[in-house]
Amino acid sequence: MSAPHATPVRVAVLGGSGFIGRVLGSRLTELGHDVLSVARKEPAEPAPGRFVAFDLSSAAPAELTELLTREQVGLVVNAAGGMWGLTDEQMHVANVVLVDRLVEAIAGMARPARLVHLGTVHEYGMAPVGTSQSEDGPAAPVMEYGKLKLAATEAVTRAVLEHGLDAVTLRLGNVVGAGQPGHSLLGVMAAKLDEARLAGRTAELSLAPLTAQRDFVDLTDTVDAVLAAATATGLPPVLNIGTGSATSARELVELLIEVSEVPTAITEVPGPDGAGPETEWQQLDIGAARERLGWAPRRSMRDAVESLWQAQISPAAR
């Protein structure tokens, strides 16, 4: 991998109005970078830096090349994509077509920008209980989203190995923090707890066993990893970013209830047959990120959940 631009004139954050992109853009701005937030449509709450409305999934690569060149972009972080509420075809466009066009657009620049692409732990699929998934291990996604994100990562990796693209994919664990998407499990639970808090009543939650074990990672730690990857040299094409340990979703929901201090009545709902930690285990090996980025997670899941809850109850969340 070639050396990155030492001081990018401008950083383009694709998906700059989203969960990760917005926090990343704010951090980059605080660090003195000139940030260009790019998304399909302008958000209700202003995105960090200067916003540009650009439909990455439908525009021709040459149009994006022209935009990146005109704006003198030296670093692109791809935090765009889509999963919730989309058909398989829409997910394909949002996650695969977009990345194919992005890679072609960057390659078309006279001075190609560095690319940090955000992948997902779901590209690996499940693993035997107690094992960790490493970058050189098998990738066998079981859900359509994971399959599409894997195809996108493979496109970026091919461009690195075959054409010398200055890029790295960060395979992220399940990110938790302020601004948690409302359609996610923790986002739904936080909204229900907040509604009960405002009404002065007991929250009533129906919960399945939620025994699946996942590698959850704090949002702030995730952004730190992206910033480290933006300037590090000699990186492999793919790096895992997580905590290196598995936690059940039920534990996180119970932690959220505890942090919220909202009286809660839980109704237990039977889980689907065949569900459980024996068939739903993910734990990332983050040794390469420690070694190559000098990065390690610093915040606990309690920190992450507390940030989520404080953002939920803030006036801006109304």
Interatomic CA distance for residues 48 and 51, integer angstroms: 7
CA separation for the pair 269, 140 (Å, rounded): 30
How far is the C-alpha of 220 from the C-alpha of 177, rounded, in Å?
8
10 Å CB burial of residue 281 (0-12, 13-18, 19+) is buried
Q: Note if 145 is an active site residue.
A: yes
Place of tokens 């001075």: 111
Q: Which of 51, 124, 145, 281 is catalytic?
A: 145
Q: Contact 124/277 with Cβ under 8 angstroms?
A: no
Which residues participate in catalysis according to the annotation? 145
